[in-house]
Amino acid sequence: MTNAQKWVAVFLVLFVGLYFLSMVTGTFEEEPEDLSAYADSTPPTEVSGAEMVKNIGCISCHGADLNGTKLAPAISGLSEYWTRDELINYLRNPSEYDGGERFDDYRAKYPNIVMPSYGNYSVQDLGKIADYLLSKE
Ligand code: HEC
């Protein structure tokens, strides 16, 4: 090999190496689908899920112990119906949720009340709320 050929070989190896490196790191950096939708959410707080439920007004409709009021159903035994991710998505956009008969009943029972959307909260905070709600019997 001439010197020039050696240099070409060195660069080739370098480029191929970099290419694979970027592929590997690229897959590690890949974000779950639509994180951009969360970009405008508030940063996560230090507050627990239970406290958030009190602070951000859930109890004004669902009741102090989340046992239900004239405005909204009791929140209990949710783990029977929801996974954590489903619940987070529901809180982000309740009106889009097609909950079948159970929700048809809710909408008949609370016709003028709309469960507000909490999409402006961070997914971490909604996760804490979801964990808390799912842990309730
Ligand atoms: C303005 C009243 C109101 C507020 C405030 C409210 N909700 Fe609701 N929520 C409802 C109503 C009404 C329903 C019944 C379903 C529907 O109409 O979409 C509901 C349904 C739900 C459900 C589904 C219950 C089930 O049986 O699956 C969950 C979970 C829930 N709310 C959690 C929350 C949380 C957490 C907060 C606070 C972050 C909150 N809600 C704040 C009115 C409210």
**Going by CA atoms, what residue is nearest to atom 31 of ligand 1?**
115
**Going by CA atoms, what residue is nearest to atom 42 of ligand 1?**
115
In a domain, 37, yes or no: no
56 in the same domain as 26 = no
92 in the same domain as 113 = yes
In a domain, 12, yes or no: yes
Band (93; pLDDT cuts 50, 70, 90): very high
In short, whether 88's Cβ falls inside 6 Å of ligand 1 is: no
Q: Please give the C-alpha separations between residue 32 and each of 29, 38, 45, in angstroms, as whole numbers.
A: 10, 11, 22
Which CATH number goes with the domain that contains 65?
A: 1.10.760.10
Helix axes 84-92, 123-135, angle to 10 degrees: 120
Nearest ligand 1 atom to the CA of 99 is: 27
120 in the same domain as 88 = yes
12 in the same domain as 70 = no
- Residue 34's pLDDT is what? 59
pLDDT one-digit tens code per residue, 24-67: 666 555 555 555 556 667 777 789 999 999 999 999 999 999 99
69 in the same domain as 19 = no
79 in the same domain as 129 = yes
Q: State the DSSP code for 41.
A: S
Nearest ligand 1 atom to the CA of 129 is: 35
77 in the same domain as 46 = yes
Q: In the chain, pLDDT over 70 holds for what percent of residues?
A: 87
Cβ-based neighbours of 59, under 8 Å, separated by 6 or more? 53, 66
In a domain, 35, yes or no: no
124 in the same domain as 63 = yes
50 in the same domain as 22 = no
80 in the same domain as 106 = yes
Give the structural domain span for 15: 3-30
Q: In the chain, pLDDT over 90 holds for what percent of residues?
A: 61
| pTM for the full predicted model | 0.76
**90 CA distance to ligand 1 middle (Å):** 9
**Going by CA atoms, what residue is nearest to atom 21 of ligand 1?**
115
26 in the same domain as 46 = no
19 in the same domain as 82 = no
Taking the C-alpha atoms of residue 39 and residue 119, their distance in angstroms, rounded to an integer, is 10
